[in-house]
Amino acid sequence: MTGVTNSGILKGHAGIGKIVRGEALVASDNFSARYDLDRLKGVFSRPQHKLFGHSYVDKILILNAAKGGVASAWMLKEMVSRNMGPKALILNFANPIMAQGAAYADLPLLDRFEFDVTGFVENGDIVEVDPAAGTLTIVGEK
Amino acid sequence: MSIRLSSYEQEMLEGKFGWPRQFAMEQIVKVGNFFDAEDCVEIAQVHLMADTESLGEDGVLFLEKLAGYSEEQRQVKVPTVTDPRGIDFEHYKALGQSDAQAELEQRAIDAFRALGVMMTDTCINYQTIMPPVLGEHLAFGDTGSTIYANSVQGARTNFQGGPSALASALTGRAPRYGFHLDECRRGSKIFKVNDRPDDFAQWGALGGIIGRQMNSYWDVPVIELASLDQRPNSDELKHFGAALASYGSTPLFHMPGVTPESADGRVALVDNPQTMAAISKDDIDAFIEAYWPADDVVDVVVFAAPQLSLIEISAVADLLDGRQTHEKVAVIATVSPEVKSAADRMGVTAKFEASGALLLQGVCFYQMCAREIGEAKGWKRLLTNSAKLVNIIGGYGYEPVLASLENCVESAIKGRLVR
């Protein structure tokens, strides 16, 4: 793991995908595409999830850990193919399924920060994700 | 540092053996680098999850693209078997599934056959197809099959979702990281279980309780049973593992005295393992109770996730023998084609379906576009003895309830939740 380089940049492990910039959707909860989402409507659909009812489409989705099953490996690209996916996925801890899904979908993915990434960014902040550098940068605060 | 490739792997990556294997190696390199894999392992078999709900039109088009290459370029390198599909062609209309869904399913099947994939359509391949063996490297793509192969059979695999499992099938390789390595298989959280679970729902509840305490994929629970006088059988470990994997995203557990990497009662641990609070019958009861509603309405009873073994479906059929399910409650069980064939031959299917229940083959309930089925049939309250299904199906618009096999059957007969 690596750490914070200054107040606006959080450094993690090198990730997957291209540089993207967008609005953050953040919660200290976990993530599975099958368990948590209504992928046709583009919203969190599991009532117990902290983002229940929120749209994740085109957001930089920032959550704690990958949970659940293996379906996300296909589903991330399926969502992206319909322009109904998140713009990037940022987790404290990815699992292989999220890495495989991100690699297949060419969806930017970062994880393994020294500090809790869900406490670093606020909902609505504009952030930039640089997977090759392994950095998440706040470029505009809410 | 980038993953180190052999000359053969490098040639696949450069496209010498065609685009399908080049694509596959690209996936392996990306994921291997993400997890700092030093090199690749050769794998013995692949279990491939690719239901059409997950694939969508985009995924099926991708499979059809692979299938369009020459046989030499597209055929899988190692035995590759499939997880449950999304359509039982004999019953899909009765479940409210559309012809369009069935057509998409058929296209996926045709593509897989062109790749040389064996359509076993089961999540219990470790019981019914070719059980893995100690130390064998695999690419298994269902959480339930992965945790069982790793834990109960001592094989070595990460969760390999569909595109990744397919990449391993096309190359015979997987990146060497995670649960292929000794250091990742050491126990990190120790749980003492004071009371033996009584039934599958309770074994699943135990898996759920432990799964909720896993911080990430990398936590490895060690489950110390208070007594080994009555060891868990394969179906009990199946429900336990499936729920643990589902709630925790957990691919491995050790159960000293039961699982092979701690068969002598000793287990390799990380430097500072955590001793967690002991789990008793009260904790298991509370886990199940939390899913129970104030009313007694039930719309559908489902026995699935994992698919039932021949022993399980026979037990359900025996409880239903000579009785009729309530007209307001649908009853469904899902089994593999192999188990369905055996159940047909032994009269189990006839006994089960004479009650009004429906036996589906080659599918699992949550992999069938369950939201659309629920909306078409007006099903909301779902009763099951599978903790894994309870964990998944809430996101599909259902209100799940967990109960013993016996109470599931009694509820199906009486038309209301029974306990």
pLDDT at residue B57 in the model = 96
Question: Is there a domain that residue B419 lies in?
Answer: no
Strand partners, B115: none
Instruction: Report the CATH architecture of A4-140.
Output: 3-Layer(bba) Sandwich (3.50)
Q: Specify whether B332 is located in the same domain as B397.
A: yes
Query: Does A96 sit within 8 Å of B159, measured CB to CB?
Result: yes
Of B180, B201, B219, the residue at which a domain comes to its end is: B180
How far is A57 from B52, CA to CA, in rounded Å?
22
pLDDT at residue A7 in the model = 67
How far is A140 from A119, CA to CA, in rounded Å?
16
Q: Specify whether B141 is located in the same domain as B270.
A: no
How far is B386 from A125, CA to CA, in rounded Å?
40
Q: Specify whether B153 is located in the same domain as B275.
A: no
How far is B410 from A128, CA to CA, in rounded Å?
56
Which tokens belong to B87?
A: 């359509």
Question: Is there a domain that residue B135 lies in?
Answer: yes
pLDDT band at B410 (very low <50, low <70, confident <90, very high): very high
Q: Specify whether B43 is located in the same domain as B116.
A: yes
Query: Does A16 sit within 8 Å of B30, measured CB to CB?
Result: yes
Answer yes or no: is pLDDT of B312 > 90. yes
- Residue B34: CATH number of its domain: 3.30.499.10
pLDDT at residue A114 in the model = 86
Interval B348-369 mean pLDDT: 97
pLDDT at residue B66 in the model = 98
Q: Specify whether B230 is located in the same domain as B331.
A: no
Structural domain that includes position B347: 292-414
Query: Does B249 sit within 8 Å of A65, measured CB to CB?
Result: yes
pLDDT at residue A1 in the model = 41
Answer yes or no: is pLDDT of B1 > 80. no
Distance from A81 to chain B by nearest Cα, in Å? Answer: 7
- Mean pLDDT for chain B overall: 97
Answer yes or no: is pLDDT of B345 > 90. yes
Three-state DSSP class for residue A137: strand
How far is B87 from B301, CA to CA, in rounded Å?
19
Answer yes or no: is pLDDT of B139 > 60. yes
Q: Specify whether B264 is located in the same domain as B410.
A: no
Q: Specify whether B35 is located in the same domain as B162.
A: yes
Task: With CA atoms as reference, report the closest residue to B256 among B282, B280, B227.
Answer: B227
Q: Specify whether B220 is located in the same domain as B340.
A: no
Q: Specify whether B52 is located in the same domain as B154.
A: yes
pLDDT at residue B347 in the model = 98
Cα end-to-end span (Å), chain A: 28
Task: With CA atoms as reference, report the closest residue to B119 among B190, B51, B219.
Answer: B51
Measured in whole angstroms, the distance separating CA B260 from the mean position of its chain's CA atoms is 21
Q: Specify whether B57 is located in the same domain as B173.
A: yes
Which tokens belong to B256?
A: 């000293």
Q: What is the DSSP letter of B180?
A: G
Distance from A141 to chain B by nearest Cα, in Å? Answer: 29
Task: With CA atoms as reference, report the closest residue to B83 among B44, B42, B117, B132.
Answer: B117
Name the interface residues of B facing A (CB cutoff 8 Å). 27, 30-31, 33-35, 49-51, 53-59, 141-143, 158-164, 178, 215-218, 245-249, 366, 371, 391-392, 394-397
pLDDT at residue B117 in the model = 98
Question: Is there a domain that residue B1 lies in?
Answer: no
Q: Specify whether B60 is located in the same domain as B21.
A: yes
How far is B194 from B278, CA to CA, in rounded Å?
7
Q: Spell B116-155 as b/e; 16+ CB within 10 A means b.
A: ebbebbbbbbbbbbeebeeebbbbbbbbbbbbbbbbbbbb
Do the Cβ atoms of A96 and A68 come closer than 8 Å? no
Distance from B164 to chain A by nearest Cα, in Å? Answer: 6
The number of domains in chain B is 3
Of B223, B255, B286, the residue at which a domain comes to its end is: B286
Question: Is there a domain that residue B353 lies in?
Answer: yes
**Predicted-complex ipTM score:** 0.93
Strand partners, B297: none
pLDDT at residue A60 in the model = 98
Partner residue opposite A68 with nearest CB, options B31, B163, B249: B249
pLDDT at residue B380 in the model = 98
* Per-residue pLDDT reduced to its tens digit, B28-55: 999 999 999 999 999 999 999 999 999 9
* Surface of A (56-115) touching B: CB under 8 A: 65-75, 77-78, 81-82, 92-97, 99-101, 103-104, 109
How far is B124 from A28, CA to CA, in rounded Å?
34
Closest-CA residue of B relative to A98 is: B161
Interval B345-369 mean pLDDT: 97
Q: Spell B17-32 as b/e; 16+ CB within 10 A means b.
A: bbebbbbbbbbbbbbb
Distance from B147 to chain A by nearest Cα, in Å? Answer: 11
Question: Is there a domain that residue B2 lies in?
Answer: no
Of B270, B286, B302, the residue at which a domain comes to its end is: B286
How far is B203 from B140, CA to CA, in rounded Å?
23
Using CA atoms of B185, B190, B195, B200 in order, give the dihedral in degrees to the nearest 10: -40
Q: CA B382, B384, B390: angle at the middle one, nearest 5?
A: 75
Q: How many CB atoms lie within 10 A of CB B106?
A: 14
Q: What percent of chain B has pLDDT over 90?
A: 99
Q: Specify whether B12 is located in the same domain as B141.
A: yes
Per-residue pLDDT tens, chain A, 142 aa: give them. 444 445 689 999 999 999 999 999 999 999 999 889 999 999 999 999 999 999 999 999 999 999 888 999 999 999 999 999 999 999 999 999 999 999 999 999 999 998 999 999 999 999 999 999 999 999 988 7
Sort out which chain A residues have CB atoms less than 8 A from B56's CB and list them: 74-75, 78, 81-82
Interval B250-269 mean pLDDT: 97
* Surface of A (113-142) touching B: CB under 8 A: none
Q: What percent of chain B has pLDDT over 70?
A: 100
How far is B158 from B40, CA to CA, in rounded Å?
13
